[in-house]
């Protein structure tokens, strides 16, 4: 697909000081470059010092200001001269002009609006352009203290017709969804959302099936975003070579997380290995995270991340999270997830999207949910793969993977505990098959060999047979060394949940 650049599509002739001007564009389309170069050249009588650039994450501030040749500087809240200049309390000085565009997070602007006013001057009067990167943050990141104050300030500023206010996002729908309540006129500066990178295959599933899909259907590294840290921990238990990354502010943050985060930030890829909770160095195949990575990072193709799994079903989160990869990914997986700790009462947008996703899972004719993300998927709705394990299958697979699936990189010395040769171990596996009701036979007909056939031919396990000495006796053993279903039938692949 030929790369498109947003600067070729934005119509600045229609920019309006009384409207929230929207640039709808995904990652890798040159939004930031356009704002910092082409935009200033096309807007007359605006100096760099009169432009404020807002971003949603502190990590983004570091990215946007790390290149010396850019005419941008990280805002320092301890240096009061910039706010005094913006308020009109002091005249422009050479130091301010040389610093160029100031970049800050949303909460810094909220603090200025609340606490850095002067009754003799008009707050931020000298600013002529204010740019809100990832402007959906105004309606999604309600955890930002006093975010409502910022929305009111934007609305009141637009009423004055004195400044250009611009928002950039790949998911404009949430702004339109809230525009009447917000009381703000919105206009797009480009007609359609510009997307350079897409997913080759869309899977729709549920939370309990994620480990199975990773083991049997997905190749390469995988990035997962969960609703909560507790969900992250559930997946880690079922996914070998997986690592959890939370935000720096979370009490769960560790030194090892900082190392992984730094690697992503500086190199655009996951580190090859990590030190697990047991102190053992392991390959990093799956990174499980919260919404901390929804924005603020960019992964390059060399990262090896080929799959994105999102446990949110709304267009905004899916598009933003998939957009972390600046290249076409192999698979985008959306997993319906039960939510305990999240209150939907305060977010009707998420309720609407979750209900729409459930309708799509049940009935392929209800395509409104697919239509909302069709712009980031390469195929049409018919080729969506809907698949979920039954509860019984999931229970059995979870049991085998926890106790008998050989971990990657294990030593020969530790391999012995995964060799199935004892009668009591075989009987335990048979009893679990009976308990989970996944072999349609009478109890007396279910043998260990039939269970092995089921695991190899239906569930996707690779099982080897060997002979070895145990307790001074020769025994035949089974070893479950891999989990990859190459024989999944087409009917089952497209099974509706």
Question: Structurally, what CATH architecture does the domain formed by 199-386 represent?
Answer: 3-Layer(aba) Sandwich (3.40)
Q: In whole angstroms, what is the distance from residue 470 CA to residue 468 CA?
A: 6
Q: What would the two tokens of residue 399 be? A: 């049991």
Q: How many CA atoms lie within 13 A of 14 on its CB side?
A: 13
Please state the domain extents for the chain. Answer: 6-188, 199-386, 391-493
Is the Cα torsion angle 278, 284, 285, 286 positive or negative in sign? positive
Q: Can you give the pTM of this predicted structure?
A: 0.73
Q: In whole angstroms, what is the distance from residue 464 CA to residue 486 CA?
A: 16
Q: In whole angstroms, what is the distance from residue 198 CA to residue 170 CA?
A: 13
- Of 140, 72, 82, nearest to 106 by C-alpha is 140
327 alpha-carbon distance from chain centroid: 15
The per-residue DSSP string of 354-406 comes to: HHHHHHHHH-TT--HHHHHHGGGBSS-GGG-EE----HHHHHHHHHHHHHTBP
Would you state the pLDDT for residue 70? 64
Would you state the pLDDT for residue 336? 92
Would you state the pLDDT for residue 346? 53
How far, CA to CA in Å, does 306 sit from each of 54, 289, 301, 326, 333? 30, 16, 8, 11, 11
Would you state the pLDDT for residue 291? 86
Would you state the pLDDT for residue 393? 86
SS3 443: helix
Q: What would the two tokens of residue 97 be? A: 């002009």
Would you state the pLDDT for residue 484? 65
Q: How many residues are given for the chain? A: 497
Pairing of strands 305-310, 221-225: parallel
User: Which strand (E) or helix (H) includes residue 464?
Assistant: strand 461-470
Domain 6-188 has CATH 1.10.101.10: no
Q: pLDDT of the chain along its 497 residues, tens only?
A: 577 899 899 999 999 999 999 999 988 888 888 887 778 778 878 898 999 999 987 767 776 766 554 688 899 999 999 999 999 999 989 999 899 899 999 999 999 999 999 999 999 999 999 999 999 999 888 788 999 999 999 999 999 999 999 999 988 888 998 899 999 999 999 988 888 899 999 999 999 899 888 887 888 999 999 988 999 999 998 888 999 999 888 888 899 999 999 899 888 899 999 999 888 899 999 999 998 888 778 899 999 999 999 999 998 889 989 999 989 999 999 999 877 544 444 567 778 888 899 999 988 788 999 999 998 999 999 999 998 888 888 889 888 988 999 887 788 888 889 999 999 999 999 999 999 988 878 888 899 999 999 898 888 889 999 999 888 899 999 999 887 644 343 333 334 34
Would you state the pLDDT for residue 59? 67
Q: What would the two tokens of residue 219 be? A: 């190749």
Would you state the pLDDT for residue 359? 92
294 alpha-carbon distance from chain centroid: 4
- Of 368, 372, 404, nearest to 481 by C-alpha is 404
Q: In whole angstroms, what is the distance from residue 13 CA to residue 16 CA?
A: 9
CA angle (231, 234, 239) in 5-degree steps = 120
Long-range contacts formed by 480-484: CB under 8 A, 24+ apart: 480/400, 480/404, 480/405, 480/406, 480/418, 480/420, 480/455, 481/406, 483/215, 483/216, 483/401, 483/405, 484/215, 484/216, 484/460
Longest C-alpha distance within the chain, in Å?
Answer: 93
Would you state the pLDDT for residue 226? 94
Q: Tell me whether the CATH fold assigned to 6-188 matches the one assigned to 199-386.
A: yes
Q: In whole angstroms, what is the distance from residue 385 CA to residue 493 CA?
A: 6
């Amino acid at each position: 697909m030929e790369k498109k650049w947003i600067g070729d599509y934005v119509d600045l002739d229609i920019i309006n000081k009384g409207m929230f001007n929207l640039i709808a564009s995904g990652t890798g389309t040159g939004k930031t470059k356009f704002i910092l170069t082409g935009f200033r050249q096309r807007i007359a009588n605006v100096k760099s010092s009169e432009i404020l650039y807002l971003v949603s994450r502190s990590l983004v501030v570091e990215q946007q200001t790390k290149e010396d040749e850019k005419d941008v500087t990280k805002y320092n809240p301890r240096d009061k001269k910039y706010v005094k200049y913006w308020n009109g309390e002091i005249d422009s000085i050479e130091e301010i002009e040389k610093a160029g565009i100031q970049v800050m997070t949303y909460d810094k602007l909220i603090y200025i609006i609340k606490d850095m006013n002067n009754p003799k001057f008009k707050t931020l009067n000298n600013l002529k352009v204010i740019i809100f990167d990832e402007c959906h943050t105004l309606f999604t990141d309600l955890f930002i203290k006093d975010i409502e104050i910022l929305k009111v300030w934007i609305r009141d500023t637009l009423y004055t017709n004195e400044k250009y206010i611009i928002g950039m996002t790949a998911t404009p729908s949430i702004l339109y969804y809230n525009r009447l309540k917000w009381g703000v006129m919105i206009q797009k500066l480009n007609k359609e959302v510009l997307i350079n990178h897409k997913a080759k295959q869309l899977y729709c599933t549920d939370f309990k099936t994620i480990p199975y899909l990773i083991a049997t259907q997905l190749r390469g590294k995988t990035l997962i975003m969960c609703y909560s840290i507790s969900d992250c921990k559930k997946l880690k238990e079922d996914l070998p070579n997986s690592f959890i990354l939370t935000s720096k502010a979370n009490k769960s943050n560790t030194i090892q997380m900082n190392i992984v985060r730094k690697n992503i930030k500086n190199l655009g890829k996951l580190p090859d290995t990590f030190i697990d909770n047991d102190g053992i160095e392991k390959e990093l195949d799956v990174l499980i995270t919260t919404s901390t990575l929804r924005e603020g990072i960019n992964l390059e193709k060399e990262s090896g991340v080929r799959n994105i799994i999102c446990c949110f079903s709304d267009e905004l989160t899916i598009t933003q999270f998939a957009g972390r990869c600046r290249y076409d990914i192999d698979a985008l997986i959306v997993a319906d997830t039960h939510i305990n700790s999240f209150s939907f009462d305060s977010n009707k947008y998420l309720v609407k999207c979750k209900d729409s996703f459930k309708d799509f899972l049940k009935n392929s004719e209800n395509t409104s949910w697919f239509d909302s993300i069709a712009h980031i998927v390469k195929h049409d709705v018919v080729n969506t793969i809907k698949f979920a394990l039954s509860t019984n299958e999931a229970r059995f697979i979870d049991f085998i993977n926890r106790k008998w699936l050989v971990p990657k990189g294990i030593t020969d010395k530790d391999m012995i505990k995964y060799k199935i040769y004892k009668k009591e171990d075989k009987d335990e596996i048979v009893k679990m098959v009976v308990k989970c009701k996944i072999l349609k036979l009478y109890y007396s007909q279910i043998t260990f060999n039939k269970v092995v056939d089921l695991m190899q031919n239906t569930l996707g396990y690779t099982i080897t047979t060997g002979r070895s000495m145990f307790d001074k006796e020769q025994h035949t053993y089974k070893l479950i060394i891999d989990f990859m279903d190459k024989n999944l039938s087409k009917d089952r692949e497209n099974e509706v949940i």
